[in-house]
Amino acid sequence: MRANINLIHGDCMEGLRGMGDDAFELALVDPPYGIGADAKNNGKTSDCHERTSLARLNTYKRTNWDNGIPTQEYFAELRRVSQRQVVWGANHFGMTGGMLFWDKEVTMPTYSRGELAWLSWLKRVDYYRYQWHGMLQGNMKDKEQRIHPTQKPVALYKWLLSNYAKEGDRILDTHLGSASIAIACWDAGFDLTGYELDPDYYAAAIARVAKHKAQGQFEFNDQNGGNQ
């Protein structure tokens, strides 16, 4: 049975407020950390930024999406509409309890060695290793194209689904970004609802997913302009 991948161009808060309790079994979210990643990871140009790292420079539009962290209302609504949550950036939000450490095998000491995700239903600390730094990726034979400055690899989301999702779980992502999660959910057969507010990143995410699989097999819902 094909997965239902519903990618929505719109404000996730509006979506969350309209959802029923426990509408999703699992939320896998990567909200803004409030560390200026939209600018810090890039070098300056007139209309966009270019990242400076080991990779060939990619250009990303100038935005302010990482100026602050989500509100308490966001986290309350997230817990209301989903039974279990995986929240990336846990150390920036003061979260404690179960954690996942993603070891990115970073080779430069000026960069963080990895990232932390909060696991709402667990008390242990889990560990996952997958290289993701500049031009270095865990799967160099099938490298992913970077379309977002804080893009996470498809392999990471496949690992998350394999370890934390159960067959039939409905998955929620409030900050879609590059849509790596959509590709992982499609391949693994999980229904996904994902939100992206920025129109350019939304369009890039759809194009990326469409390239992975025929666009007609996905439902794209632009709240500012109808279905696509």
Q: Note the pLDDT of residue 64.
A: 63
In a domain, 142, yes or no: yes
Per-residue pLDDT tens digits for 181-225: 999 999 999 999 999 999 999 999 999 999 887 644 445 565 654
Return the half-sphere exposure (C-beta side, CA atoms, 13 A cut-off) of residue 196.
22
Nearest to 191 by CA among 166, 224, 226, 225: 166
Distances (CA, A) of 124 to 65, 100, 110, 121: 31, 8, 28, 9
Q: Note the pLDDT of residue 222.
A: 58
Q: Note the pLDDT of residue 215.
A: 46
Number of domains in the chain: 1
What's CA 149's distance to the chain center, in Å?
Answer: 11
Tokens, residue 62: 């100038």
Distances (CA, A) of 103 to 3, 112, 119, 165, 218: 29, 9, 16, 21, 32
pLDDT along the chain (228 residues), means of 10: 91 97 98 72 37 45 68 97 97 95 88 94 97 87 87 96 98 96 96 96 94 61 52
Q: Note the pLDDT of residue 18.
A: 97
Phi, then psi, of 30 in degrees rounded to 5: -135, 70
Q: Which residues pair with 191 in a beta bridge?
A: 170
Contacts of 154 (CB under 8 A, 6+ apart): 144, 180, 183, 184, 187
Per-residue pLDDT tens digits for 148-160: 888 999 999 999 9
Can you spell out the DSSP letters for 54-119? Answer: SSPP-EEE---TTSSPPPHHHHHHHHHHEEEEEEETGGGTT--SEEEEEE----STTS-SEEEEEE
Identity (one letter) of the amino acid at 31?
P
Tokens, residue 67: 């100026």
DSSP state, residue 35: S
CATH code of the domain covering residue 157: 3.40.50.150
In a domain, 101, yes or no: yes
Q: Note the pLDDT of residue 142.
A: 84
In a domain, 228, yes or no: no
pTM: 0.83
Q: Note the pLDDT of residue 75.
A: 97
Q: Is the C-alpha dihedral spanning 74, 80, 81, 86 positive or negative? A: positive
Domain limits for position 185: 5-223
In a domain, 134, yes or no: yes
CB 126, CB 119: distance < 8 Å: yes
Q: Note the pLDDT of residue 122.
A: 97
Q: Note the pLDDT of residue 217.
A: 46
In a domain, 184, yes or no: yes
